[in-house]
Structure 1
Amino acid sequence: MESQAKEFRKNDSNRVIELEKGKLLPHAIDIEEAVLGAMMISMNGAHECLLILKSPEVFYKIENVSIFKSIQKLYQEGAPIDLLSVSSSLRTMGLLNSIGGDIYLIELTQKISSSAHIEFHCRILIQYYIRRKMIFDNAELSALAYDVEKDIFELMAHAERNIGSLREQTSTGVSDLSMKEGLTRIGKRIEVLTLKKSNELSGCFTGFKKLDAITNGWQNSDLIVIGARPGMGKTSLVLKTMLENIKQNIPVGFISCEMSSEQLMTRLVACNSNFDLNQLLRTGFNESIYFEEFIILKGKMEKYPAYFDDQSSDVYDVIAKIRFWHRKFGIRMVIIDYLQLMSCKLLNKNSIREQEIATITRSLKRLAKELNIPIIVLSQLGRDVENRSDRRPLLKDLRESGAIEQDADLVAFIYRPSYYGIELDDAMLRQGANTEFIIAKHRNGSLDRKGLFFDESKTKFTDPQDNNESY
Structure 2
Amino acid sequence: MTGTRAIDRELPSNVEAEAALLGALMIDNRMMDRVADLVSAEDFYEPVHGQMFSAISSEIANGRVTTPITITPMIQHLPGIVELGGPAYAAKLTGSGAALLGARDFAKQIADLAKRRRLMAALECVIERVSDMRERSDEEGYQPISEIVEQMDGVLSAALQTHRQNRGIRFAKAFDDTLLKIEDEASGNSTDALAVAGLDDWNTLTGNMRRGEVVILAGRPSMGKTAVGLSVALASARANHGTLFVSLEMSVLELTKRAITDVLFEHGKSASFDAVQRGKFTPRDREAIAVARKQIAQWPLVLHEDAGLKVGRLTMLIRRYQREMVSKGNSLDVVFIDYLGLLRGDNQKHSRHEEIGTISRTLKTIARELNVAIVVLAQLNREVERRDDKRPQLADLRDSGEIEQDADVVIFVYREQYYLERSKPELGDRKRAEWELAMGAVRDRVELISAKVRNGRIDKRNCYFFASHQAVRGSLFFQNDGLR
Class of the TM-score when normalised by the shorter of the 2 chains: 0.7 to 0.9
1:117-196 residue pairs with structure 2 within 5 A?
118-147=103-132, 149-168=142-161, 170-196=162-188
**Higher Cα Rg, which structure:** 1
Matched, 1:90 2:111: no
Query: What's the secondary structure of 2:244's corresponding residue?
Result: strand
What residue in structure 2 maps to residue 364 of structure 1? 363
What residue in structure 2 maps to residue 12 of structure 1? none
What residue in structure 2 maps to residue 256 of structure 1? 247
Match of 2:236 among 228, 242, 245: 245
Structure 1 residue 35 displacement after superposition = 1.9
Range with bigger deviation, 428-437 or 376-385: 428-437
Q: Is the 8 A contact 1:87 1:96 kept in 2?
A: no
What residue in structure 2 maps to residue 10 of structure 1? none
TM-score (structure 1 length as normaliser):
0.83
Query: Amino acid of the residue matched to residue 202 of structure 1?
Result: A
TM-score (structure 2 length as normaliser):
0.81
CA displacement 1:235-281 (0-9 Å, x = unmatched): 11112112223334433211111111111111111112221111112
Cα separation, partners in 2 of 1:103 and 1:393, compared to 1, 3 Å: same
What residue in structure 2 maps to residue 19 of structure 1? none
If each structure's helix is expressed as a fraction of its own residues, which one has the higher value?
1
Structure 1 residue 382 displacement after superposition = 0.2
Query: Amino acid of the residue matched to residue 375 of structure 1?
Result: I
1:43-62 residue pairs with structure 2 within 5 A?
43-46=29-32, 49-50=35-36, 52-56=38-42, 58-62=43-47
Query: What's the secondary structure of 2:398's corresponding residue?
Result: coil
Q: Is the 8 A contact 1:38 1:46 kept in 2?
A: no
Hey, what's the Cα distance between the residues in 1 that align with 2:260 and 2:177? 41
Percent identity of the aligned residues? 26
Range with bigger deviation, 188-197 or 45-54: 45-54
What residue in structure 2 maps to residue 438 of structure 1? 449
Matched, 1:102 2:87: yes
Query: What's the secondary structure of 2:249's corresponding residue?
Result: coil
Q: Is the 8 A contact 2:333 2:372 kept in 1?
A: yes
Q: Is the 8 A contact 2:417 2:443 kept in 1?
A: no
Match of 1:278 among 274, 283, 287: 274
Structure 1 residue 78 displacement after superposition = 7.7
Cα separation, partners in 2 of 1:339 and 1:356, compared to 1, 3 Å: same
What residue in structure 2 maps to residue 336 of structure 1? 337
Hey, what's the Cα distance between the residues in 1 that align with 2:51 and 2:165? 22
Structure 1 residue ranges without an equivalent (≥5): 1-21
Structure 1 residue 366 displacement after superposition = 1.9
Query: What's the secondary structure of 1:143's corresponding residue?
Result: helix
Matched, 1:37 2:23: yes
Range with bigger deviation, 357-366 or 68-77: 68-77
Q: Is the 8 A contact 1:451 1:464 kept in 2?
A: yes
What residue in structure 1 maps to residue 419 of structure 2? 420
Query: Amino acid of the residue matched to residue 59 of structure 1?
Result: F
Hey, what's the Cα distance between the residues in 1 that align with 2:189 and 2:28? 52
Query: Amino acid of the residue matched to residue 459 of structure 1?
Result: Q
Q: Is the 8 A contact 1:201 1:212 kept in 2?
A: no
Hey, what's the Cα distance between the residues in 1 that align with 2:375 and 2:220? 17
CA displacement 1:403-453 (0-9 Å, x = unmatched): 2111111001011112112999x9x99999832111000011111111111
Superposed CA RMSD? 3.4
Cα separation, partners in 2 of 1:76 and 1:210, compared to 1, 3 Å: closer
Q: Is the 8 A contact 2:201 2:475 kept in 1?
A: no
Match of 1:203 among 194, 200, 218: 194
Match of 1:450 among 427, 437, 461: 461
Cα separation, partners in 2 of 1:432 and 1:185, compared to 1, 3 Å: farther
Cα separation, partners in 2 of 1:150 and 1:178, compared to 1, 3 Å: farther
Hey, what's the Cα distance between the residues in 1 that align with 2:26 and 2:240? 55
Q: Is the 8 A contact 1:201 1:217 kept in 2?
A: no
What residue in structure 1 maps to residue 204 of structure 2? 213
Hey, what's the Cα distance between the residues in 2 that align with 1:46 and 1:240? 49
Matched, 1:469 2:482: yes
Aligned length: 442
Hey, what's the Cα distance between the residues in 1 that align with 2:293 and 2:215? 30
Cα separation, partners in 2 of 1:97 and 1:262, compared to 1, 3 Å: same
Q: Is the 8 A contact 1:34 1:112 kept in 2?
A: no
Cα separation, partners in 2 of 1:277 and 1:381, compared to 1, 3 Å: same
Query: Amino acid of the residue matched to residue 203 of structure 2?
Result: D
Q: Is the 8 A contact 1:325 1:331 kept in 2?
A: yes
Cα separation, partners in 2 of 1:460 and 1:143, compared to 1, 3 Å: same
